[in-house]
């Protein structure tokens, strides 16, 4: 599966944000910060990674649906990437 260019930018932004948050978690641990603060920031990293993964999956699902429609085998209108992503997020 290849991530389309629109989704790729969003995924990379989310991953860069997660990378910065993770660096923050490492610095917090090294500085001996409160456990609650560290766990809260770590949860934010986890959510950012999840969102990037969901975006990748949503993009792939959209590509698959578009391919089916172009073959003439799909009856329903294709969902938008945002709709697919929202649907996938309800599973998490």
Nearest alpha-carbon partner for 25 in 53, 51, 47 = 47
Q: What is the pLDDT of residues 7-29, one digit of tens each?
A: 888 889 989 999 999 999 999 99
Distance CA 59, CA 76 (A): 18
CB 45 within 8 A of CB 25: yes
Token pair 């590509």: residue: 63
Domain architecture of the chain: domains with CATH: 5-89 (1.20.58.1000)
- Check: pTM over 0.85? Answer yes or no: no
pLDDT of 46-85, one tens digit each?
999 888 888 887 787 777 666 666 665 555 566 677 877 7
32: left (phi over 0), alpha (psi -120 to 50) or beta: left
């Amino acid at each position: 599966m290849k991530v389309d260019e629109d989704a790729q930018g969003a995924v990379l932004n989310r991953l860069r944000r997660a990378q910065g948050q993770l660096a923050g978690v490492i610095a917090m641990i090294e500085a001996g910060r409160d456990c609650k603060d560290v766990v809260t920031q770590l949860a934010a990293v986890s959510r950012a990674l999840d969102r990037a993964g969901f975006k990748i999956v949503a993009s792939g699902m959209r590509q698959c649906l578009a391919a089916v429609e172009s073959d003439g085998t799909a009856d329903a209108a294709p969902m938008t990437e945002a709709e697919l992503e929202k649907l996938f997020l309800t599973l998490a």
